[in-house]
Structure 1
Amino acid sequence: MSPFATRHHLVTVAGQQVFYREAGDPSRPTLVLLHGFPTSSHMFRNLIPALADEFHLVAPDHVGFGQSSAPPVDRFDYSFERLTDITLGLLDTLGIDRFALYLHDYGAPIGLRIASRHPQRVTGLITQSGNAYTEGFTPFWNVLFDHAKDRQAHEPAVRRLLEVDATRWQYTHGVPADRLDRIAPETWLLDQTGLDRPGNKEIQLQLFWDYQFNLDAYPDFQRYFRQHRPPTLVTWGRHDEIFGAAGAEAYARDLPDAEVHLLDTGHFALETHGDEIAGLIRAFLRRTR
């Protein structure tokens, strides 16, 4: 087996089984990859081997996603605070004290809670559609914020976001026609298989509702940016209709040295621009290790 091959593990953290992918030499600088909705660490399946010759990479599945535990909503507190606790618990269990963070979608409020509370542990930030500013919210979010105010009235509309057409759209919207052939159908089909597990839609509805509280933490995240000036790389789909390009550009307000790249694609930029992003990350981590 190649010394850079991806390895797959399960470890118990706070009573939950947490699955994670790992590659590279643990003595090298570590990059922790935090995925978003509705995917899993599978979204990093190509990025991990592309960087494992030089860096140590760890990509967990959040509880409720991928191969990690997915207890029913009445047996686990599905909140971004709790997912943050689990992620920190995993890093502590693995003895990873210093690391850079890759933030995508849901991974942003989780990773930025970690960074703002433990700035001494974080060597840098890479954000791909990982929002930290209200400017990033597009009209896509209207129904979700309505749901946060009145769950019962807006649940039918929100449930449509958990169906296969919506999952496919997340991968294909904003992608130029000449790059659509790079979107592998197993990406959205695998995600949909996870969403269709018994009880998982209720898990996702709970996290949809809890997302509103991430906005309360934005001032803390932005204060962290200003006070600690973490090296930051932004690689964001210019045509993302979930977290708009304004959310990428907003990072420069508090991090004037941030390196911002708006790519000609949508929400899942790694699917269409994986090689470009890997190159940007390699150069960034070399500068910030």
Structure 2
Amino acid sequence: MSHLTTRYRTAVVDGLEVFYREAGDPANPTLLLLHGFPSSSHMFRNLITALADRHHLVAPDHIGFGQSAMPPVSEFAYSFDNLTRITEGLVEQLGLERFALYIHDYGAPIGLRIASRNPERVTALVTQSGNAYVEGFTPFWDVLFAHAKDRAANEAEVRKLFTLEATKWQYTHGVPADRLELIAPEAWLLDQAGLDRPGNDAVQLQLFWDYQFNLDGYPAFQEYFRTHRPPLLVTWGRNDEIFGAAGAEAYRRDLPDGEFHLLDAGHFALETHLEEISQYIRAFMERLP
């Protein structure tokens, strides 16, 4: 079987099943792809196909997402620290010694924890709406930060983010009219199916609440950027109203030598700008030492 064919695999980390997609020759440079809310490794399906000829790609589903385990909140402490711990366990199990990170949305606080703890193992960073600066937060976050301070008073409003309307909005908002036809409807329908599972609402509410503690890590992430100067590629939708373009520009402060591309796209830029992003990554990865 060709290395170009995507494999759909499951590992067991700390007793939990972690689903992941893998393609490409493991002898080639590895790119670890970390998804965000409310998605899964499915968001990388086309990028994996586009890059598998020259790269080794691994894309896990976080616990509570996609095809990975979804223990109830009474049995697993849903936090970004714990999602990171599981991801680190998968990395160890797969023997990934050195790898680049592609971080999107929730994948950013997970990936940047890994990178700042293991700077010698991370060869590069690719960020697509992967925030590391307070400048990246838009008014979209007002209700979420209010929820972090008072869960009961704001839960009803936050629950609106679990609706099909909200999920479709994440995919279509900020997308130029001529590119809307590039978005596969099953992408948001699959995400919605994940959100609609019994008990998943409690999982997502807990992670929304825990998100506030990611900001405590920003100084360490930014110190990692300044100290270790990881090669950086930014491929960010400039029309993203979840993590705004100011969050992309903020990376220039600490990584001024990075390569920056603000695309005419929204939050899920890979759906509409796959060709551009895959070409940027291919050229970027080939320039790495």
Residues 126-158 of structure 1: CA deviation (Å, up to 9, x unaligned): 000000000000000000000000000000000
> Which residue is 1:65 aligned to?
65
> Which residue is 1:119 aligned to?
119
Residue 32 of structure 2: SS of its match in structure 1? strand
Q: CA deviation at 1:161?
A: 0.5
Residues 147-205 of structure 1: CA deviation (Å, up to 9, x unaligned): 00000000000000011100000000000111111111101100000000000011000
> Which residue is 1:216 aligned to?
216
**What count of residue pairs does the alignment treat as equivalent?**
289
Q: CA deviation at 1:207?
A: 0.2
Q: Matched residues, percent identical? A: 73
Tell me the distance in 2 between the aligned counterparts of 1:81 and 1:111: 11
> Which residue is 2:193 aligned to?
193
Instruction: Name the amino acid aligned to 2:8.
Output: H
> Which residue is 1:44 aligned to?
44
Instruction: Name the amino acid aligned to 2:235.
Output: T
Tell me the distance in 2 between the aligned counterparts of 1:204 and 1:97: 31
> Which residue is 2:206 aligned to?
206
Structure 1 residue 170 and structure 2 residue 153: aligned? no
Instruction: Name the amino acid aligned to 2:37.
Output: F
Structure 1 residue 54 and structure 2 residue 57: aligned? no
TM-score, normalized by length of structure 1? 0.99
> Which residue is 2:21 aligned to?
21
Q: Superposed, which structure 2 residues align to 1:1-289 within 5 Å?
A: 1-289=1-289
Residues 108-129 of structure 1: CA deviation (Å, up to 9, x unaligned): 0000000001100000000000
Tell me the distance in 1 between the aligned counterparts of 2:279 and 2:133: 26
Tell me the distance in 1 between the aligned counterparts of 2:283 and 2:13: 33
Residues 88-107 of structure 1: CA deviation (Å, up to 9, x unaligned): 00000011110000000000
Instruction: Name the amino acid aligned to 1:30.
Output: T
Instruction: Name the amino acid aligned to 1:199.
Output: G
Instruction: Name the amino acid aligned to 2:94.
Output: L
Instruction: Name the amino acid aligned to 2:125.
Output: L
Instruction: Name the amino acid aligned to 1:215.
Output: L
Q: CA deviation at 1:3?
A: 3.0
Tell me the distance in 2 between the aligned counterparts of 1:199 and 1:252: 40
Instruction: Name the amino acid aligned to 2:221.
Output: F
Q: CA deviation at 1:2?
A: 3.5
Residue 205 of structure 1: SS of its match in structure 2? helix
RMSD: 0.6
Residue 53 of structure 2: SS of its match in structure 1? coil
Tell me the distance in 1 between the aligned counterparts of 2:259 and 2:61: 27
Task: Name segments (4+ residues, structure 1) moved above 3 Å.
Answer: none
Tell me the distance in 2 between the aligned counterparts of 1:137 and 1:256: 21
Residues 28-61 of structure 1: CA deviation (Å, up to 9, x unaligned): 1100000000000000000001101001000000
Residue ranges of structure 2 left out of the alignment (5+ in a row): none
Residue 101 of structure 1: SS of its match in structure 2? strand
Residue 260 of structure 2: SS of its match in structure 1? strand
Residue 241 of structure 1: SS of its match in structure 2? coil
Tell me the distance in 1 between the aligned counterparts of 2:105 and 2:220: 18
TM-score, normalized by length of structure 2? 0.99
Tell me the distance in 2 between the aligned counterparts of 1:28 and 1:80: 29
Residue 274 of structure 2: SS of its match in structure 1? helix
Residue 123 of structure 1: SS of its match in structure 2? strand
Tell me the distance in 2 between the aligned counterparts of 1:80 and 1:263: 28
Tell me the distance in 2 between the aligned counterparts of 1:65 and 1:95: 23
Tell me the distance in 1 between the aligned counterparts of 2:105 and 2:56: 22
Q: CA deviation at 1:258?
A: 0.7
Residue 240 of structure 2: SS of its match in structure 1? coil
Residue ranges of structure 1 left out of the alignment (5+ in a row): none
Between stretches 1-10 and 115-124, larger displacement belongs to: 1-10
